[in-house]
Structure 1
Amino acid sequence: MGTSLTPEFWRLFAVLLGISTAVTFVLSAALDALVLRARRRGMRHRSAGPRTVEVSHRPDRTLVRH
């Protein structure tokens, strides 16, 4: 059962392809902006406070195998 693809199909296909491309582009740009904003906020919060260095409370031990 062979069907032919009509000009109406190709028109609709082109419209849907264009819409999906535009939606993908807009969502990608929006998510990218959100990630950049979150990273900048994280950097600001890290640099705002005094620098603390974590120190291990365990003494250095050497492993000895017998």
Structure 2
Amino acid sequence: MGTSLTTEFWERFTVLLVLALAMTAILTAVFTTLFDRFTARLRSHRSHGTAPRIPHPRTRDDRPTPVHH
């Protein structure tokens, strides 16, 4: 015994589908914005720390003195 899908079903289905798509888009935008703010805050917080050490290039004077026997 099969049932046919009525126009009322399709109307409700369409409304729920549109609402689900809208909610997905809105929540994605909100969480993306919050995540961007959070990562920007972390990056700015890290940049206020000490500067990373940059090794200086080795010169002839940096080499150990050779020992001759």
Give the TM bin, normalised by the shorter chain: 0.7 to 0.9
Percent identity for Structure 1 against Structure 2: 45
Runs of 4+ off more than 6 Å = none
Greater Cα shift, 42-51 or 16-25: 42-51
Is 1:6 paired with 2:15?
no
* CA RMSD of superposed structures (Å): 1.1
Q: CA deviation at 1:52?
A: 4.8
Query: Number of matched residues?
Result: 53
Output the TM-score relative to the length of structure 2. 0.71
Name structure 2 gaps, 5 residues minimum. 54-69
Name structure 1 gaps, 5 residues minimum. 54-66
- For 1:49, the aligned partner's letter is G
